[in-house]
Amino acid sequence: MPDITINGRDGDFSAYLSLPATGSGPGLLVIQEIFGVNQSMRRMCDDFAAQGLVALCPDIFWRQEPGIQITDKTDEEWQKAFQLFQGFDTDKGVEDLKDALAALRGLDACSGKAGSVGYCLGGKLAFLMATRSDADCNVGYYGVGLDELLGEAGNISHPTLLHVAEEDEYCPKETQEKLAEAFAGSDLVTLYSYPDMPHAFARVDGIHYHAEEASLANGRTYAFLKQKLA
């Protein structure tokens, strides 16, 4: 599918749209990593579409530089990614995502319910979609800086799934313990930990990709989305 345009409150930005074979289904907002709406994110959208979901991945770096599509393969690309990350306005980014969620729900292909899933920076933003939006469910993969957001945890009102990599250099053990403690016994938040896994273990073709654990995490995500977006 070609990219589409989202008419946001502060301006227009692009998003990659992937439709299921049936042409319609529940919506899923797929939130990018720090490398933009690149081939990895587009492939993830296609994988979600293969699960019967209408997957939409918006460009959240559009305010800085529209159309970013880089990889994790070179030092130059990493420097560019961190520059974009450091310049990213989280609050405005969440507003953009809420606009994208509304646009997703408004598509003829979307059957009604819509959730979010995010990776890395997107994992943090998926958590914030759980606390600040009306998304029907949310999934975060190895979100960064979640310990700083736990003050918002009481705002979560829809089912949320968090995948935590135990050897994530961007999520230290102390943070993992805080997350486990915060959501122990929660009826809304499910947390899965992955021993020996580094950050971004589910990034297809990424330098830390681990096929077996990625398959486990993705299987849990697919089952969760199928149940919550039915």
Q: Residue 34 has what pLDDT?
A: 97
Fold of 3-228: Rossmann fold (3.40.50)
Domain boundaries, the chain: 3-228
- Encode 110-134: b = buried (16+ Cβ within 10 Å), e = exposed: bbebbbbbbbbbbbbbbbbbbbbbe
Q: Is 91 a catalytic residue?
A: no
Pair type for strands 11-18 and 160-165: unpaired
Distance separating alpha carbons of residues 59 and 107, to the nearest angstrom: 18
Proportion of the chain above pLDDT 90, given as a percent: 97
Residue 1 pLDDT grade (very low, low, confident, very high; cuts 50, 70, 90) = low
Catalytic annotation, pick one of 136, 168, 208, 210? 168
Catalytic annotation, pick one of 199, 205, 208, 210? 199
Q: Is 163 a catalytic residue?
A: no
The 10s digit of each residue's pLDDT in 131-184 is 999 999 999 999 999 999 999 999 999 999 999 999 999 999 999 999 999 999
Q: Compute how many other C-beta atoms are within 10 angstroms of the C-beta atom of residue 18.
A: 21
Q: Choose among 169, 178, 184, 191: nearest CA to 151.
A: 178
**Residues facing residue 29 across a β-bridge:** 56, 116
Model confidence pTM above 0.85: yes
